[in-house]
Homo-oligomer: A and B are copies of this chain.
């Protein structure tokens, strides 16, 4: 059990799960049904550290503890499709805990509501401390991710002078409970671009979009549709989902949930809408395509195909040793993304 689940370690590590806690968790969980409750208990312990810190006026400590707590609840629920009530509880706890941390992060995360189709897309805006108008990166989560999980990656961009806007687009994070994933997800990114045009600290002529995993696909789609984007990054994304039959059961459940469908066959049909065919050539801005050759979820061929069909300047970086999203070599891909965007948006 511990071994089976252990291949997720790199993702947990890069998302801020303490490695010591992780080993305790992985060795204590012997039944997949206990996954959520074990993570929730650990999350609760970190929340209590946060509460204690607040009571003592230690706001930095509190914020760090609440972010950790949010991440533990997040990974408690992230693959818990078979117990929807638990899953939703985990999502809501993640949202609630990250919200407590947000004002005290460095730099702070400001919760924003991006007007969208009569409702809104929730996001967190974090401004790089430049003192002048600067570039901003719209960050797109993957299929089972959320705006809150982007925190650690955002820090890498912020340290290099890039502001960030992480969103829960259709199907993602908390938005999933009101809207499922759609092939025209790019409309949410356009809404985000509109929104950023009204933020004084952001230079709206220097906007990028960046996504990992399913979000990588979306970043390319969005750049094809939204020409105000000046740079687009996909890390571990896909060209299309034609590999559906080869996906694991868990991955099929994952996408079925994301798409808001009731079974695999409906989801498989809906999945056909997520192809970049005819779209890559419409991207007018520079593209950065990153992929790990050891990706067991989305094949490297998708990255090659995106690079081949691109008509705008494309930088393709395939890491031989990289796994899905290259999360096993975070010190390679994250600074690369940040530095490339910084240089491209100069």
Q: Flag if A339 contacts B49 (CB, 8 Å).
A: no
Chain B minimum-CB-distance residue to A20: B328
Q: CA A87 – CA B332 in complex, angstroms?
A: 28
Residue of B at shortest CB range from A46?
B331
Given A46-B331, A49-B332, does the pair A61, B339 have CB atoms closer than 8 Å?
Answer: yes
Interface residue? A56 (CB, 8 A): yes
A145 to B64, CA, bound (A): 26
Contact with B along A41-60 (1 / 0, CB 8 A): 00000100100010010101
Closest Cβ of chain B to A13, distance in Å, is: 5
- In angstroms, Cα B14 to Cα A19, docked, is 9
- What is the distance, in angstroms, from A18's C-beta to the closest C-beta of chain B? 6
Q: Which of A127-158 touch B at CB < 8 Å?
A: none
CB-CB < 8 A to A19: which residues of B?
Answer: 9-10, 13, 19
Neighbouring B residues of A330 by C-beta, 8 Å = 18, 20
- How far is B68's CA from A119's CA once the two chains are assembled, in angstroms? 45
Contacts of A343 in B (CB 8 A): 56
Chain B residues with CB under 8 Å of A13's CB are 19-20
Interface flag for A199 (CB, 8 Å): no
A23 closest partner in B (C-beta) = B9
CB distance from A87 to the nearest CB of B (A): 26
A269 to chain B, nearest CB (A): 37
Which B residue sits closest to A13, measured CB to CB?
B19
Shortest distance from the beta carbon of A244 to any chain B beta carbon, whole Å? 29
| Given the contacts A60-B160, A160-B60, A18 and B339 also touching, CB distance less than 8 Å | no
A61:B20 contact, CB within 8 angstroms: no
Which residue from chain B places its CB closest to the CB of A339 in the assembled complex? B58
CA distance A64 to B19 in the complex (A): 20
What is the minimal beta-carbon distance from A155 to any residue of chain B, in angstroms?
Answer: 11
Please give, as numbers and ranges, the residues of chain B lying within 8 Å of A56 by CB-CB distance. 339, 343
- Asked if A331 contacts B64 (CB within 8 A), the reply is yes
Residues of B within 8 A of A160 (CB): 58, 60-61
A345 at interface (Cβ–Cβ under 8 A)? no
Which A positions have Cβ atoms within 8 angstroms of B? Answer: 9-10, 13, 18-20, 46, 49, 53, 56, 58, 60-61, 64-65, 68, 106, 159-160, 328-332, 335, 338-339, 342-343
Can you list 25 A-B pairs, Cβ within 8 angstroms, ordered by A?
A9-B19, A10-B19, A10-B20, A13-B19, A13-B20, A18-B330, A18-B331, A19-B19, A20-B328, A20-B330, A49-B331, A49-B332, A53-B339, A56-B339, A58-B335, A60-B159, A60-B160, A61-B160, A61-B335, A61-B338, A64-B335, A65-B331, A65-B335, A68-B331, A106-B159
The 6 closest A-B pairs by CB, nearest first: A61-B335, A58-B339, A20-B328, A13-B19, A60-B160, A19-B19
> 13 new A-B pairs (CB below 8 Å) besides A20-B329, A58-B160, A58-B335?
A9-B19, A10-B20, A19-B19, A20-B328, A49-B331, A56-B339, A56-B343, A58-B339, A58-B342, A64-B331, A64-B335, A68-B331, A106-B159
